[in-house]
Chain A
Amino acid sequence: MGGTQMAIGITSYGAYLPWHRLGPGTNGWTARTERAVASFDEDSITMAVAAAVNCLDGFHRQDIQALYFASTTPPYKEKSNATTVSVAADLPFETLSMDFSDSLRAGTAALQAAIDAVKGGSAKQVLLVAADMRVPQPRSEFEPVFGDGAAALLIGNSKVAVQLEDSYAVSHEMLDVWRADGDAFVRTWEDRFVIEEGYLKILPQVISKLLDRNKLSSKDITKAVLYAPDSRRHREMVRKLGFDLETQVQEPLFSTVGNTGAAFAPMMLAAALEKAKAGDRILLANYGNGADAFLFRVTEEIEAIRNSRGVGSYVESKRILPDYETYAVWRGLIDKAPPTRRPPIRTPSPSAMHREESKNLRFHGIKCKRCGYPQYPPQRVCTRCHAKDEFEDYRFSDKKAKVFTYALDRLGPTLDPPLVVSVIDFDGGGRMFSIMTDRDVDKVEIGMPLEMTFRKFHSSEGIHNYYWKCMPVRA
């Protein structure tokens, strides 16, 4: 822990919350909490991409050597999800992507691995992204508590804003809350067993050990970021550890966001960092078949990476779903007849998808070198000056756009009618047809400012078809 060691830690942070909420005001929602719910066109991969891009704002994507993706709800079981995230975030081909899964501790396990990778020298910058979209059984004890979201942390050894001082972890074999392959919903054992023998026993042990061996006590911690299954247990844990709930603890956002699974701990850390000051000592502790704890010290670099579009602003940017049925249809809990009868959608050819990865996932178009006109999709012959094969790659995913014209299609297939189809003009040039998502239909208008978002168009034949849609700029 000496000053002679190279500082390693967090060099940037980001998060993403879906726009939609179940909450009081949703017809058929009986809980008092609000929770973030992913749209029908989102999943752990798309949310991870959003968090990654949020985290990398201002950073050169070519300088990332590895991407770790953590989730207990990866869309693919035997195909890397991390590679999809990496490509959609437009990271270089050499980026080593790795998938972490199977436990709510996946996000912090990946954090430790990222730190070790930088420390060991195999990477200078590792982007870690955690996302989850767990579906609670309807009307279960988990339904008011689970939330969807993603968070990202950039780990490096240069301009470190949040330096790691120490970390400690234990693994613990236990069936407390779990899902087997093929299970739609989490299973759990008796609540008392789950909490007394699991959460309330293991997490404090790990935190105590970490604090003790650094000769610290709870009063030395500026901010404790603690995993908890719900708000009541969070308060119990805070009490048990001797932290002051009002001043020393990161608010876990159970009443506005919910427990976002593997993303929870990194996201709460990101939220804490939005307000952290140089010199703060932060304790991060996560739980899931064991526990891990991290001791961080915030440096002056924190100011340079203050995230104006962080957890806080995503919490505020929301729309309460009008009814529970919409959510249930989105999650496949109800097999509702579609509004119009359409032929089944087929998946495009994987060899074609492979070939067009740059266009579809990286969202690259071209810019003609002769006349400078940006075009999407990429054209070998320029649409303006007809120059052939004289172009350079041009990333559209991070460009802003405006609505040029639009239509509200009541015939088109969608789980969220009407299908808003728009022609959008990009800042800096270029135009495309784009489906609009996360929109308030009443507010769509010509000239409306838009940003691009990575979404899932549909799934069929075991293939998730990802692409970019436009959406009104989130606050």
Chain B
Amino acid sequence: MAESIKDKVAIIGMGCTKFGELWDKSPEDLIIEAYKETMEDAGIEKKDIQAAWLGSHLDDISIGRGVIIFSMALKLPFIPVTRTENFCATGTEALRGACYAVASGAYDIALALGVEKLKDVGYAGLPESGNLNMEGTLGRFTTPARTAPGAYAMMATGYFAKYGLSPEDGKRTLAKISSKSHHNGTLNPKAHLRREVSVEDVMKAPIIAWPLGLYDCCGVSDGAAAAIVTRADMAKNFRPDPVYVKALQIAASSGEELLYTDYDYAHVETTYRAGIAAYREAGIKNPREELSMMETHDCFSINELTQYEDLGISPRGRAKEDVDAGFFNIDGKIPNEVDGGLKCFGHPIGASGLRMVYEIYKQLQGKAGPRQLKDPKIGLTHNMGGTPPSCVVAVGIVGL
């Protein structure tokens, strides 16, 4: 019978670069920086790494296809290196590869690193990669030139309509989410954006794709993050405070959201399914009571709002109440985006999943500085790539 990953793998070292518009840093620079911090944190040497997983999304720029640039940048000595890609779930995917390899007993120590040089693309938002990845002409004709904000804005409109929120109320709810994250970002030296943004700022910002405005959307940035994993029974050889992987789940859309008329465009089915699977794997029965913190995929404020419900924290249609109550603020019951989230870090696609784990890892070790939560025990990361009705979601749970 298939078992879970729970407590089979431990993270013994992590690193993360400052995220931002790093014009003068190449992908190699970012890789090396994240790697060095990770290695120092783990206290191991290069020769100890037996296999590596690289997560990067863009094919044509950034680090490109294959792993050669990565392995040459780090001068990895002819070890197995795999590149994985799964849209915005890429970072978690790289971690998952390393974890399964170690859990299977194939390796003792493995490296997972996610990196993206998104700013080299030269556009203010993500380039439209969606349509290029579809077979034949589907992408070009059926879903042409659809931008990310546009796709998620549809979910905002759907959510407001389903739960009877006026546009004003809806936008205000979303604004509170962004404002909360920006506040957390001011406490994080590695974030790109570190200014307070008030709810009014968010409300009045220029519209990108109605109803989403400038501050409802995360930015475009460069960054890298990495982790060293080992088998749980070896972890304490390296450090007294390893962090254990409790769950690693991925769910990919079946396509029914777009084909059936049942889909309500007010939630993300894949988040829901991946969440259920992850909770089962980790043995969590009541996430609202049991989770200490979360780092979810807040590419757009509406996405974060629906995640509260899809991950089973807020009841369906009532996330607004929790938002208004400050449930997810840094001083709330389940702080979300404690490090500032995608909102403040931007979204170097391959790196984000690992950056989320990094924050929880540091929090669990009591090393989160001004952002430190009191006694966190277990945290959830959530990555999502694609658009609300057609996407892939990765949910990871790590704890002490």
Contact = CB atoms under 8 A, between A and B. Distances in A.
Interface of A: 189-193, 196-197
B23 A196 contact: yes
For the complex of A and B, list the 10 residue pairs with the smallest distance between their C-beta atoms, beginning with the closest. A190-B122, A197-B23, A189-B122, A192-B21, A190-B123, A190-B124, A193-B23, A196-B21, A196-B23, A193-B122
Contacts of A197: 23
16 contacts: A189-B122, A190-B119, A190-B122, A190-B123, A190-B124, A191-B124, A192-B21, A192-B119, A192-B124, A193-B21, A193-B23, A193-B119, A193-B122, A196-B21, A196-B23, A197-B23
A191 B122 CA distance: 9
A442 B210 CA distance: 49
Contacts of A193: 21, 23, 119, 122
A26 to B, nearest CB: 25
A79 to B, nearest CB: 36
Nearest to B122: A190
Nearest to B24: A197
Interface in B118-152: 119, 122-124
A190 B122 CA distance: 5
Interface in B337-365: none
Interface string B296-319: 000000000000000000000000
A191 B220 CA distance: 13
Interface majority SS (helix, strand, loop, mixed), chain A: helix
Contacts of B23: 193, 196-197
A312 B124 CA distance: 38
Interface of B: 21, 23, 119, 122-124
A190 B61 CA distance: 16
A191 B124 CA distance: 8
Contacts of A196: 21, 23
A277 B21 CA distance: 44
A17 B119 CA distance: 40
A191 B125 CA distance: 12
A178 to B, nearest CB: 14
A11 B8 CA distance: 82
Contacts of A190: 119, 122-124
A227 to B, nearest CB: 21
Contacts of B21: 192-193, 196
A197 B20 CA distance: 13
Contacts of B124: 190-192
A288 to B, nearest CB: 19
Interface centre among A189, A192, A196 (most CB of B within 10 A): A192
Contacts of B122: 189-190, 193
A408 to B, nearest CB: 48
Nearest to B123: A190
A191 B119 CA distance: 11
Nearest to B21: A192
A197 B23 CA distance: 8
Nearest to A188: B122
A191 B23 CA distance: 13
Contacts of B119: 190, 192-193
A189 B120 CA distance: 10
B126 to A, nearest CB: 13
A257 B345 CA distance: 40
A123 B220 CA distance: 54
Contacts of B123: 190
Contacts of A192: 21, 119, 124
Given A189-B122, A192-B124, 13 more contacts: A190-B119, A190-B122, A190-B123, A190-B124, A191-B124, A192-B21, A192-B119, A193-B21, A193-B23, A193-B119, A193-B122, A196-B21, A196-B23
Nearest to A190: B122
A168 to B, nearest CB: 23
A23 to B, nearest CB: 24
A197 B124 CA distance: 15
A197 B22 CA distance: 10
B62 to A, nearest CB: 15
Interface centre among A190, A191, A193, A197 (most CB of B within 10 A): A190
A193 B123 CA distance: 10
A52 to B, nearest CB: 40
B217 to A, nearest CB: 15
B223 to A, nearest CB: 16
A195 to B, nearest CB: 11
A435 to B, nearest CB: 47
A424 B123 CA distance: 57
Nearest to B124: A190
A150 B302 CA distance: 51
A190 B119 CA distance: 9
B119 to A, nearest CB: 7
B193 to A, nearest CB: 13
Nearest to A191: B124
A192 to B, nearest CB: 6
A431 to B, nearest CB: 60
A447 B22 CA distance: 66
A64 to B, nearest CB: 45
Contacts of A189: 122
B37 to A, nearest CB: 25
